[in-house]
């Protein structure tokens, strides 16, 4: 009881004395806020990117690529292989009664990124009528779908946000041909929103692809049908393809690209944290020395060294918690939901939104509290070793 | 009269690097219950060192220190802190009040080391502040009080847990003559009416006149001046 009382009194005195070191304390709060904001920014970037890639894949759609190709861009699939895929187990029938397979090809075209006014690569995907059926999230929200056989194009809403020149009604030039933008589609939270779509046969002929495709998306009756279908593709000697669930395909890509952002964010966050820690230690040592006479007086009166330690510790933690609060607030107001784009798989741009969630907030706050903890321990130990000498107390 | 505090053959040296300076070599001193002792002496003669030994804020190298029948020289840090909280009130030259606390909160500090309830603590703070005549300033911060008022708050803090023994290091060293006399009058009153045993270090011969006797300390040895 008396230990609680005395520690409580010392904590209250420490915290109430913060305004006496206002500028130093504010600098500490500010530097910790900066660390939290930067780390949180990177984590939100990785988080949003991950969520977008993960959200792109359906569990009941198999994606087939040439065996050995990791991404759609360097895969080749023939008409015959596609027919063979349709004979696999668990393949759903489309509205026309035939197997629901979307044979697609992806090309890279140039666009101008709004934020930097620089050229960037973006995917132009050729799809058929099944393309929308294997992507139930995708909806035309402005204009209309392209007419099969024509040089018409629809543009993803995410791409429209980040790149200029693709607005509805615009005429574009890819290769030797001009194209007209006739519609905008949304596929919220997926990579497809960062794509341009056109009719697959038109692309095959204009870009001289003969009758080959690059990927096939196969609609299955249920996610449970996936393993049997994957095994069928693996065992069928005539195919030489590899199938996996679209969900797994994007999750793998998310992991690779997401880790990159994360592993850039953490080292930067930690380097900044070391800087903030130096500031916190400096502030707390200043606090202890400015209160040396007070601490000595309390020790003379009979207060324990432990209470001096805890008081200093709590002061440091209060400053770091304030810093964390400010950092999280800055990020929530400033970054959350902000749209961004970066290189995704196959060197094309993926547009996504920064996403702050409880898990990444707790990671950033933990880093802030670790700064406070270490920034409080050593000054706290110095405070606790303050001798209760009368001479020092005067 | 019985002895409240007794130093027997106390030795105290300070180490400064490789050198060691002997401050006391076989010091003996007895202070009776209810005494008011002034200690004078040139600067560097060991007055503060003596107060630290009497108040259990520093340790002797050898010898015995008895307080009210307890041997305190063998106490560890924690036991000494507990003993100080129970038995000694300290009054400093520069008051040493906590600037962020008001007068009442400053006075309450020693009670935070006791098991008293908040209500009982408030009552004791009121009593102590009334004794020094500053109850009307209970809500004032130290910087809103004059030097003499601050020292009164410090006296209230020293007596609030009702210790038998008060130790004062130059309690009027920072005050003008009239204010100093007021403070000394209060100490004298605490000694005469409440039976507090007081040891006071001072440079000021007039201040010493408020005490019952004066000890002169020179090079670690006492010479009694007045009885
Ligand atoms: N903590 C310490 N370490 C080393 N020497 C000290 C310490 N405290 C006091 N001294 C020395 O001991 C001597 C007596 O000091 P002190 O008791 O403060 O004298 P006074 O209070 O009479 O002026 C002085 O020479 C002083 O320098
Ligand atoms: Mg002195």
How confident is the prediction for chain A on average, in pLDDT?
A: 86
Measure CB to CB from residue B93 to each of A302, A304, A394 and give the nearest one: A394
Distance B201 CA to ligand 2 centre (A): 8
Contacts of A305 (CB under 8 A, 6+ apart): A299, A383, A384, A385, A386, B77
Give backbone dihedrals phi and psi of A66, rounded to 5 degrees, phi first. Answer: -60, 140
Write out the two tokens for A208.
């001289």
Cβ neighbours of B93 in A, within 8 Å: 394
Distance between CA atoms of residues A364 and A269, nearest Å: 9
Going by C-alpha positions, the residue among B3, B132, B168 that lies closest to residue B69 is B3
Going by C-alpha positions, the residue among B28, B2, B13 that lies closest to residue B224 is B28
> What is each CA distance from A248 to A19, A53, A57, A140, B186, in whole angstroms?
54, 10, 7, 26, 85
* Residue nearest atom 10 in ligand 1 by C-alpha distance: B14
* Contact call for B113 and A393, based on CB within 8 A: no
Confidence bin at B38 (pLDDT 50/70/90): very high
Q: Which residue has the tokens 């209760």?
A: A388
DSSP-derived 3-state class of residue B89: strand
Looking at ligand 1, which atom is closest to the CA of residue B41?
22
* Residue nearest atom 18 in ligand 1 by C-alpha distance: B48
pLDDT of residue A141: 92
Write out the two tokens for A362.
């707790």
pLDDT of residue A393: 44
Does position A118 have pLDDT exceeding 80, yes or no?
no
Identify the DSSP state of B26: E
**Chain-centre distance for alpha carbon A374:** 29
Measure CB to CB from residue B57 to each of A6, A294, A389 and give the nearest one: A389
Q: What is the mean pLDDT of residues A288-309?
A: 92
Cβ neighbours of A303 in B, within 8 Å: 81, 109, 112-113
Best probe residue, ligand 1, of B13, B19, B23 (max atoms within 8 Å of C-beta): B23
What digits encode the pLDDT tens for the residues A141-198? 999 999 999 999 999 998 888 888 888 888 888 777 888 999 999 987 788 888 899 9
Nearby residues for ligand 2 (ion, Cβ within 5 Å):
B 48
> What is each CA distance from A207 to A114, A175, A213, in whole angstroms?
27, 8, 12
* Contact call for A301 and B85, based on CB within 8 A: yes
What digits encode the pLDDT tens for the residues B123-146? 999 999 999 999 999 999 999 999
Write out the two tokens for A307.
């209470």
A216 close to A100: Cβ distance less than 8 angstroms: no
* Residue nearest atom 2 in ligand 1 by C-alpha distance: B14
Render the burial of A198-234: b for 16+ CB within 10 Å, e for the rest: bbbebbbebeebeeebbbbbbbbeeeebbeebbebbe
A162 close to A349: Cβ distance less than 8 angstroms: yes
Q: How many residues does chain A have?
A: 394
Between A191 and A35, the higher pLDDT residue: A35
Q: Which residue has the tokens 């392209």?
A: A146
Distance B43 CA to ligand 2 centre (A): 7
Q: Is beta strand A61-66 parallel, antiparallel or unpaired with respect to A215-219?
A: antiparallel
Cβ neighbours of A16 in B, within 8 Å: 100
A32 close to A318: Cβ distance less than 8 angstroms: no
Confidence bin at A339 (pLDDT 50/70/90): low
How confident is the prediction for chain B on average, in pLDDT?
A: 93
Measure CB to CB from residue A390 to each of B48, B86, B113 and give the nearest one: B48
Measure CB to CB from residue A302 to each of B51, B81, B94 and give the nearest one: B81
Does position B166 have pLDDT exceeding 70, yes or no?
yes
- Among all bound ligands, the one having the nearest atom to the CA of B20 is 1
For B157-214, what is the HEC assignment?
HHHCCCCCEEEEECCCCCCCHHHHHHHHHHHHHHHHHHCCEEEEECCCHHHHCCCCEE
Q: How many CB pairs under 8 A join A and B?
A: 82
Ligand 1 neighbours (beta carbon < 6 A): A 391; B 14, 16, 21, 23, 41, 43-49
Element (H, E) at B108: helix B103-108
Going by C-alpha positions, the residue among A64, A189, A198 that lies closest to residue A138 is A189
pLDDT of residue B67: 95
Nearest CA in chain A to B98: A294
DSSP-derived 3-state class of residue B116: coil
What digits encode the pLDDT tens for the residues A200-246? 999 888 888 888 899 999 999 989 999 999 999 888 888 888 888 98
Q: Is beta strand B3-16 parallel, antiparallel or unpaired with respect to A349-353?
A: unpaired
For chain A, what is the HEC assignment?
CHHHHHHHHHHHHHHHCHHHHHHHHHHHHHHHHHHHHHHHHHHHHHHHHHHHHHHHCCCCEEEEEECCCCCHHHCCECHHHHHHHCCCCCECECCCCCECEEEEEEEEEEEEECCCCCEEEEEEEEECCHHHHCCCCCEEEEECCCCCCCCEEEEEHHHHHHEECCCCCCEEEECCEEEEEEEEEECCCCHHHHCEEEEHHHHHHHCCCCCCECEEEEEECCHHHHHHHHHHHHHCCCCCEEEEEHHHHHHHHHHHHHHHHHHHHHHHHHHHHHHHHHHHHHHHHHHHHHCHHHHHHHHHHCCCHHHHHHHHHHHHHHHHHHHHHHHHHHHHHHCCCCEEEEECHHHCEEEEECCCCHHHHHHHHHHHHHHHHHHHHHHHHHHHCCCCCCCCCC
Please count the CA atoms within 13 angstroms of the CA of A85 that sit on its side-chain side: 32
Does position A348 have pLDDT exceeding 80, yes or no?
no
Q: What is the mean pLDDT of residues A49-78?
A: 82
* Residue nearest atom 27 in ligand 1 by C-alpha distance: B44
ipTM comes to: 0.94
Best probe residue, ligand 1, of B21, B40, B173 (max atoms within 8 Å of C-beta): B21
Distance between CA atoms of residues B153 and B171, nearest Å: 12
Q: What is the mean pLDDT of residues B169-198?
A: 95
A123 close to A198: Cβ distance less than 8 angstroms: no
Distance between CA atoms of residues B224 and B205, nearest Å: 14
| Gap from B96 CA to chain A (nearest CA, Å) | 7
What digits encode the pLDDT tens for the residues B73-121? 999 989 999 999 999 999 999 999 999 999 999 999 999 999 999 999 9
Nearest CA in chain B to A3: B113
A11 close to A380: Cβ distance less than 8 angstroms: no
Going by C-alpha positions, the residue among B177, B174, B169 that lies closest to residue B206 is B177
Query: Given its phi and psi angles, is residue B2 left (phi above 0), alpha (psi -120 to 50 degrees) or beta?
Result: beta
CB atoms within 10 A of CB B62: 12
Distance between CA atoms of residues A144 and A164, nearest Å: 20
Identify the DSSP state of B109: G
> What is each CA distance from B68 to B24, B29, B82, B114, in whole angstroms?
22, 14, 15, 20
Cβ neighbours of A387 in B, within 8 Å: 57-58
Going by C-alpha positions, the residue among A48, A377, A355 that lies closest to residue A190 is A48
Measure CB to CB from residue A302 to each of B85, B94, B98 and give the nearest one: B85
Nearest CA in chain B to A307: B113
Q: Is beta strand B62-67 parallel, antiparallel or unpaired with respect to A177-186?
A: unpaired
The lowest-confidence range among A293-302, A329-338, B66-75 is A329-338
A14 close to A383: Cβ distance less than 8 angstroms: no
* Contact call for A2 and B112, based on CB within 8 A: yes
Q: Which residue has the tokens 């996996």?
A: A244
Does position A343 have pLDDT exceeding 80, yes or no?
no
pLDDT of residue A1: 54
The lowest-confidence range among A262-266, A373-377, B26-30 is A262-266
| Gap from B113 CA to chain A (nearest CA, Å) | 5
Write out the two tokens for A6.
């005395």
Nearest CA in chain A to B115: A2
A261 close to A57: Cβ distance less than 8 angstroms: no
Rg (CA), chain B: 17
| Gap from A300 CA to chain B (nearest CA, Å) | 6
Element (H, E) at B61: none
Confidence bin at B147 (pLDDT 50/70/90): very high
The lowest-confidence range among A244-253, A345-354, B198-207 is A345-354
pLDDT of residue A394: 41
- % of chain B with per-residue pLDDT over 90: 88
Confidence bin at A317 (pLDDT 50/70/90): very high
Between A269 and A329, the higher pLDDT residue: A329
Confidence bin at A120 (pLDDT 50/70/90): confident
Q: Is beta strand A339-343 parallel, antiparallel or unpaired with respect to A177-186?
A: unpaired
């Amino acid at each position: 009881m008396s230990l609680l009382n005395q520690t409580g009194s010392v904590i209250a005195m420490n915290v109430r004395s913060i305004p006496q070191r206002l500028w130093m304390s504010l600098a500490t709060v500010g530097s910790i806020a900066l660390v939290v904001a930067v780390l949180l920014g990177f984590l939100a970037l990785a988080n949003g990117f991950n969520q977008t890639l993960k959200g792109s894949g359906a569990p009941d759609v198999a994606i087939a690529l040439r065996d050995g190709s990791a991404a759609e861009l360097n895969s080749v699939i023939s008409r015959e292989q596609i027919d063979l895929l349709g004979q696999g187990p668990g393949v759903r029938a489309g509205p026309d009664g035939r197997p629901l397979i979307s044979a697609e090809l992806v090309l890279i075209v140039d666009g101008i990124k709004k934020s930097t006014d620089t050229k960037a690569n973006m995917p132009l995907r050729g799809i058929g009528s099944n393309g929308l059926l294997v992507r139930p999230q995708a909806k035309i929200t402005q204009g209309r779908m392209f007419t099969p056989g024509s040089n018409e194009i629809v543009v993803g809403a995410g791409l429209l946000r980040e790149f200029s020149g693709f607005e509805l009604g615009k005429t574009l030039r890819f290769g030797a041909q001009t194209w007209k933008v006739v519609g905008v589609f949304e596929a919220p939270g997926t990579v497809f929103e960062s794509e341009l779509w056109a009719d697959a046969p038109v692309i095959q002929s204009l870009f001289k692809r003969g009758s080959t495709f690059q990927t096939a998306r196969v609609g299955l009756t249920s996610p449970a049908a996936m393993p049997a279908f994957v095994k069928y593709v693996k065992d069928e000697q005539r195919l030489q393809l590899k199938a996996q669930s679209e969900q797994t395909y994007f999750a793998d890509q998310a992991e690779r690209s997401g880790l990159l952002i994360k592993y850039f964010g953490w080292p930067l966050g930690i380097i900044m944290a070391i800087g903030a820690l130096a500031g916190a230690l400096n502030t707390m040592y200043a606090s202890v020395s400015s209160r040396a006479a007070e601490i000595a007086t309390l020790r003379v009166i009979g207060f324990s060294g432990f209470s001096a330690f805890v008081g200093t510790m709590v002061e440091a933690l209060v400053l770091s918690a304030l810093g964390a609060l400010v950092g999280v607030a800055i990020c929530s107001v400033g970054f959350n939901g902000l749209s961004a784009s970066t290189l995704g798989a196959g060197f094309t741009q993926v547009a996504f939104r920064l996403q702050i969630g409880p898990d990444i907030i707790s990671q950033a706050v933990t880093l802030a509290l670790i700064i406070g903890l270490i920034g409080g321990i050593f000054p706290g130990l110095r405070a606790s070793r303050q001798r209760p000498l009368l001479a020092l107390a005067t | 009269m019985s002895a409240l505090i007794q130093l027997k053959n106390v030795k105290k040296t300070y180490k400064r690097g490789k050198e060691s300076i002997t401050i006391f070599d076989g010091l003996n001193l007895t202070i009776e219950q209810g005494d008011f002792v002034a200690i004078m002496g040139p600067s560097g003669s060991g007055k503060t060192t003596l107060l630290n030994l009497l108040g259990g804020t520093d340790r002797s190298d050898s010898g015995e220190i008895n307080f009210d029948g307890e041997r305190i020289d063998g106490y560890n840090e924690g036991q000494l802190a507990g003993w100080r909280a129970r038995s000694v009130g300290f009054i400093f030259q520069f008051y040493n009040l906590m600037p962020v606390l008001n007068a009442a909160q400053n006075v309450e500090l020693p009670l935070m080391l006791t098991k008293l309830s908040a209500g009982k603590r408030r009552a004791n703070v009121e009593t102590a502040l009334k004794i020094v005549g500053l109850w009307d300033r209970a809500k004032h911060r130290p910087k809103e009080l004059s030097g003499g008022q601050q020292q009164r708050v410090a006296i209230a803090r020293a007596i609030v847990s009702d210790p038998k023994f008060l130790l004062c290091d130059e309690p009027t060293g920072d005050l003008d003559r009239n204010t100093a006399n007021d403070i000394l009058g209060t100490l004298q009153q605490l000694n005469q009416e409440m039976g507090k045993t007081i040891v006071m270090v001072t440079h000021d011969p007039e201040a010493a006149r408020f005490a019952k006797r004066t000890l002169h300390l020179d090079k670690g040895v006492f010479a009694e001046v007045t009885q």
